[in-house]
Amino acid sequence: MTESSKDKTKRKLIEVMKEYKPTYYTSLFFNDYSERMEALLVLSKIRTPLSRVYQDTTFIFYLRTCGAKTRMTENVPKDKLNVPKIWIPQIQIFTTSKIDENIVEEVISRINYDHLNINVSQRKIKTLNNSWIDTVNKQGPHKLQDYFNHPRSPRRFNVTNKKATKIAIQESNKEDYDVVF
Average pLDDT (22-44) is 86
Average pLDDT score over residue span 25-29:
86
The Cα-based distances of 21 to 53, 127, 139 in angstroms read 20, 8, 21
| Model pLDDT for residues 87-133, shown as the tens digit of each residue | 888 888 999 888 888 888 888 888 776 666 677 777 887 666 666 77
Element (H, E) at 170: helix 162-177
Task: Among 24-38, 69-83, 164-178, name the one with the lowest average pLDDT.
Answer: 164-178
Secondary element (H or E) of residue 23: none
Q: Please name which of 43, 62, 92 lies closest in space to residue 158, comparing C-alpha atoms.
A: 62
pTM beyond 0.95: the answer is no
Domains of the chain: 5-177 (3.30.70)
Report how far residue 59's alpha carbon sits from residue 55's, in angstroms, rounded to the nearest whole number.
10
More confident of the two residues 92 and 167? 92
Residue 58 has pLDDT above 90, yes or no: yes
